[in-house]
Amino acid sequence: MCIALPLQVMRTEAGHAWVAGRGQLRRVNTALVGEPAVGDWLLVFLDSAREIVDAARAAEVNALLDLVQGALDGAPPPPFEPAFALPSSLGAEALATLVGPEGPTPTPLAETQQ
């Protein structure tokens, strides 16, 4: 699974930014997003900024990551229903709306190992 982390820009350099968040400080490549400003929030994956987001979106992603970490740590589920449904819980019509009438074409495992 690939997860981008929301990290806030602390300092910029040509083509890079020093970002902080989720207990870390690191230097990331900004070639895909241009030059961010100090204070901007970036979604970072594999030490590369992939998107500039606002503070509200960064807070949403952080909250979701906190829920995932809690589940991994064995914390009880939150006392509310999530605001989304997993595809596995959807009926055929709702799933078709989500992925299109044809849906994704599965690739047999044998074909991916050739």
> How far apart, in Å, are the Cα atoms of 15 and each of 7, 69, 87, 96, 98?
16, 31, 38, 42, 37
pLDDT confidence tier of residue 16, bands split at 50, 70 and 90: very high
* Residue 49 clears pLDDT 80, i.e. is over it: yes
pLDDT confidence tier of residue 109, bands split at 50, 70 and 90: low
* Residue 76 clears pLDDT 90, i.e. is over it: no
**Burial of residue 44 (number of CB atoms within 10 Å: 0-12, 13-18, 19+):** buried
* Residue 86 clears pLDDT 80, i.e. is over it: no
- Report the CATH number of the 1-102 domain: 2.30.30.140
* Mean pLDDT score of the chain: 85
Whether this model's pTM surpasses 0.75: no
Task: Look at the alpha carbons of 55, 61, 66, 67 in this order and tell me if their dihedral is positive or negative.
Answer: positive
C-alpha–C-alpha distance, residues 21 and 59, integer Å: 11
Identify the pLDDT of residue 78.
75
Residue ranges of the domains in the chain? 1-102
Amino acid code (one letter) for 103: G
pLDDT tens figures, 38-47: 999 999 999 9
